[in-house]
Homo-oligomer: A and B are copies of this chain.
Amino acid sequence: MAGIKRKALESGAVKCVVKDLREEFVEDYLWPMLKAGAVYENGYLLGTSIARPLIAKHQVEVAHAEGATAVAHGATGKGNDQVRFEVTFMALDPSLKIIAPWKDPNFTLTSREAAVDYAKKHKIPIEQTKKQIYSRDRNLWHISHEGADLENPANEPKDNLFVISNPISKTPDKADYVSIGFEQGVPVSLSGKKIGGVKLIETLNEIGGKHGIGQVDVVENRLVGMKSRGVYETPGGTILIAAHSALESLALDRETMHYKQQIALKYAELVYYGLWFTQLREALDAFVDVTQRNVTGEVKLKLFKGRCSFAGAKSPKSLYRTDLASFKMGAEYDPTDATGFIRLFGLQTKVASIVNKGKKIKN
């Protein structure tokens, strides 16, 4: 963080405020998203999307604290991040002026390469080089990779692309197991011990990364109308989502679960589109929170070769009952119940058949 500050001031900033937002990120952004089960399109776990409203919110707070009348961001005019930043600014303080250099007609840099040259010329220290010039975004939840050879969807990502997880070929030949405890949908323990959210994600990132968990490679639809291709590493997040989902399979009744699947699709859209500070997102959260009342228990997962597979779950609120699921029949089982159920469940189909085929009912 000292480095960030120095870089900012040396680059000409009058003042630089650096905040550690990780706990707020986890509690107020990641956990609600986890509870919602939000995943965008073919598996993007929304690591960049979910961070933007938080950053923008604190920019507005700093602007207010400093008496600034404008906020700025460095996102380009082709991506989603500009929308996420600007809509958040508009939501939290519509009076703030928004400065977005990449979209300023007078801005002279028109490519990432030009930006690298510019930084070099003005002695701004950057990690990027022109050689392997992936565009990356990293935070507690994930790291993303875009650009360079990935821009052609015919290319397979190279093994050396990965930063926080091993390529599967380098993962250990022995599995690890983790047990994650949840209370009302929120992860609270690891291997039976209470643990804070930031520490939990860091720990799962490490062990998950070792086993190559959470690598996805997708072509996704941006809000601004074009498709882009991204490779994402989200080791800890992937483990948490798998565990949460497994616990929900015990704790949610069918109608709630199926409807929540639709809610999750909408939730993912809202996060991806930058519509965090909206009434609709709050309303979806309220829905989700009711569904999480019984999502309490512990899930064990096996981490091995890029997969985290179910290895058992327990919940005091489980709706799974062995006596009902079992093939054995007991006192509770009345065979005529199922017969009657199917007769009425299928009645519409039967009537439609009679109407469409002119069949008569005999039985």
User: Which residues of A are interface residues toward B (Cβ below 8 A)?
Assistant: 41-42, 69, 76-78, 82-83, 86-87, 90-98, 100, 102-105, 107, 110-112, 135, 147, 151-156, 168-169, 171, 215, 217-221, 223-229, 245-246, 249-250, 252-262, 265-266, 269, 275, 277-280, 282-291, 293-294, 300, 302, 304-307, 309-314, 317-322, 324-329, 332-356, 359-363
A sample of 7 more A-B contacts (CB under 8 A), given A224-B341, A286-B286, A337-B343, is A102-B335, A111-B328, A147-B327, A151-B326, A286-B290, A306-B306, A319-B348
List of B residues within 8 angstroms of A280 by Cβ: 253, 255-256, 259
B105 touching A322, Cβ below 8 Å? no
Copies of this chain, whole number: 4
Q: Which of B155, B219, B300, B343 contacts A156 (CB 8 A)?
A: B300
Some 13 contacts from A to B, beta carbons below 8 A apart, are A78-B327, A83-B345, A111-B329, A154-B313, A156-B312, A171-B305, A217-B310, A225-B351, A258-B265, A283-B291, A294-B355, A305-B307, A336-B336
Candidate in A111, A156, A219 with the most chain B CB atoms within 10 angstroms: A219
Q: Which of B154, B228, B287 contacts A287 (CB 8 A)?
A: B287
Judging by beta carbons under 8 Å apart, are A355 and B319 in contact? yes
The answer to whether A353 and B229 have CB atoms under 8 Å apart is no
> In the bound complex, how far is the Cα of B156 from the Cα of A197, in angstroms?
27
B269 touches A344 (CB 8 A): no
Q: A221 and B257: CB pair below 8 A?
A: yes
Closest 9 CB pairs of A and B: A340-B340, A225-B347, A221-B254, A305-B305, A337-B340, A226-B324, A103-B335, A286-B286, A283-B290
> Are B82 and A338 neighbours in the complex by a CB distance under 8 Å?
yes
Contact A250-B219, Cβ < 8 Å, known A227-B321, A245-B42, A286-B286:
yes
Contact between chains at A259 and B266 (CB < 8 Å): yes
A221 cross-chain contacts in B, Cβ below 8 A: 253-254, 257-258, 348
Q: How far is the CA of A76 from the CA of B338 in the complex (A)?
A: 9
A250, B351: Cα distance in complex, Å: 12
Distance between Cα atoms of A215 and B304 in the complex (Å): 13
Q: State in angstroms the CA–CA spacing of A289 and B98 once bound together.
A: 33
In the complex, chain B residues whose CB is within 8 Å of the CB of A95: 359-363
Find the B residue at minimum CB distance from A150: B325
Residue in contact with A307 in the complex, picked from B77, B275, B282, B306, CB distance below 8 Å: B306
With beta carbons under 8 angstroms apart, the residue of B249, B253, B339 that contacts A220 is B249
- Measured in the bound complex, the distance between the Cα atoms of B75 and A62 in whole Å is 42
